[in-house]
Amino acid sequence: EAVNSRNRAEVEHLEVFADQSGFIESVTQCLQEADKLELWRPVGIYDLGMLIGFAMYGYFPEPAPGQVWLDRLLIDRRFQGRGYGRAALAALLERLEREYHKKRIYLSVVEANRPAAALYESFGFRFTGERDTHGERVMCLRTR
């Protein structure tokens, strides 16, 4: 569900475990970034009406031919270890394919975040050998 004035405060209270804090920006930081750059699409992840996580994605037309990025994905610490990350990633990938119809989806991951990298690899993401502007390792999924 899109983050808006109705759910923003609740979404901003999502948290990861302390040892995961270096793997992703806070939700507040993500939303501030989305406020500045309208290409980002921040969404709350819900299970039967209960907020359990957050993601942010977007399409960047430059450099040509443009790229779709799944830039942020987090499951609140209270809900981790229950399969929500896998379910959320599957739903997000389906949404990205439906919205953008692109052959590739990109993301980046902090090198030390092996659990996230393993999850992404299980969906077919592969490391490209590139790093993003923050030094994170870039991964790409070919959807077709």
Q: Report DSSP letters for 23-80, one per residue.
A: TS--HHHHHHHHHH-TTEEEEEEEETTEEEEEEEEEEE--STT-EEEEEEEEE-GGGT
> In whole angstroms, how far apart are CA 64 and each of 22, 44, 88, 98, 140?
31, 29, 29, 20, 16
Q: Which of 59, 100, 106, 120 is catalytic?
A: 120
Is 120 assigned a catalytic role? yes
**Token digits for 62?**
């430059």
Tell me the backbone φ, ψ of residue 132, rounded to 5 degrees: -85, -175
Q: Which residues are identified as catalytic?
A: 120
